[in-house]
Amino acid sequence: MLSRIAEHLYWMARYLERSEDMARLINATTLLLLDLPPKAEFGWDILLRIAGIAELYETRYGNLDEQRIMGFLIADERNPSAIVSCIHQARENSRTFREILPSEFWERLNSLFLFVRDYASASIGNRHDRYAFLSEVIARRHALVGLLVGTMSQDAAYQFVKLGRNMERADMTTRIVDVTTAVILPQRDKLQATLSESLWIGVLRAMSAFEMYRRHVSVEVRGNEVVEFLIRDRKFPRTVYHCLGEMEVALATLPANSAAQGALRRGRKRLDQLDLADLNSAVLHEYLDHLQQDLGSIHRVIHRQYFDPLHRDGSTEDAVARGLADESPGPLATTQFQQHAAF
């Protein structure tokens, strides 16, 4: 029973992180497309590729036009990675264990759900309205994270939230870098350099990393340095390296963590060995593919060890229980997790 609470917490954090990441991507892509020339091979479909839901979109809509893609990514509840779906799932995962979280968290999460439900569809057709709507989603989600960080005990429950948040964030960062390096720009040297800079500035802004990149790397935005920063910087909270480090810290406080820690160490070792000098997009894609596989392996180990009753042993259950619940949340309703979702 208590391991199910841990799973609810883990997935609640993943869904909230996913909703914010999608809102950021849409806003950044909207701004970027305004600056790119028609011959640049970069369009709204890149959002579907980043999310890994291009095939699902194709079966439902076919044509790649802005309004349909926005509707699919923001308000289509049949899409498990749509913002409205992610927030709905996060709310459902929080509903049955509200006693574990600060009471204000449920109130604000419920408020976010009602806001998205009421305004998501109306925001799709107009870019200005859409930008304002998505910015509000990001701000409200930030408030939720700040509430947990500032008011929640750093016990096992918090560590599962931390695991979910950083797992989702690391996965998204690898996807953004992977797809961006594959963008084909017009083959004119001066124009290509300018557009490449605009492209990577858009990526940095999407991740709220622009100022930190300029502060710690360079005032000039160069693709290879942005990739290095987003993959391997140890201090910026949205880099893959930092996310893996945060997950390692979280796991260190949980019982029976050797298998998950081993999977994490393998992922960090791959990052340490990555040579980004003169790396072409094809080789980088292969590296990032391996990184995503590492994240998948870490997730599977965490799931097997802490969430799957067929694999976990009694000692793990007891230890997790001691950390999770001084307050019993009562019976839990069954939640259908969408672990097959694209991210």
Question: Residue-wise over 240-272: b if at least 16 C-beta within 10 A, else e?
Answer: bbbbbbbbbebbeebbbbebbbebbeebbebbe
What's the whole-model pTM score? 0.85
pLDDT digits (tens, 9 = 90+) for 207-241: 889 999 999 999 999 888 999 999 999 999 999 99
C-alpha angle 33-35-37 in degrees, rounded to nearest 5:
85
Which letter does DSSP use for residue 185 in this model?
-
- Could you give the CA distance from residue 162 to residue 170 in angstroms, rounded to a whole number? 12
Q: What local confidence, expressed as pLDDT, does residue 296 receive?
A: 93
- Could you give the CA distance from residue 338 to residue 181 in angstroms, rounded to a whole number? 29
pLDDT digits (tens, 9 = 90+) for 170-198: 998 998 888 777 665 555 556 666 677 88
Query: Mean pLDDT in the chain?
Result: 83
- Could you give the CA distance from residue 31 to residue 209 in angstroms, rounded to a whole number? 16
pLDDT digits (tens, 9 = 90+) for 27-48: 878 877 776 666 666 678 888 8
pLDDT digits (tens, 9 = 90+) for 12-26: 999 999 999 999 888
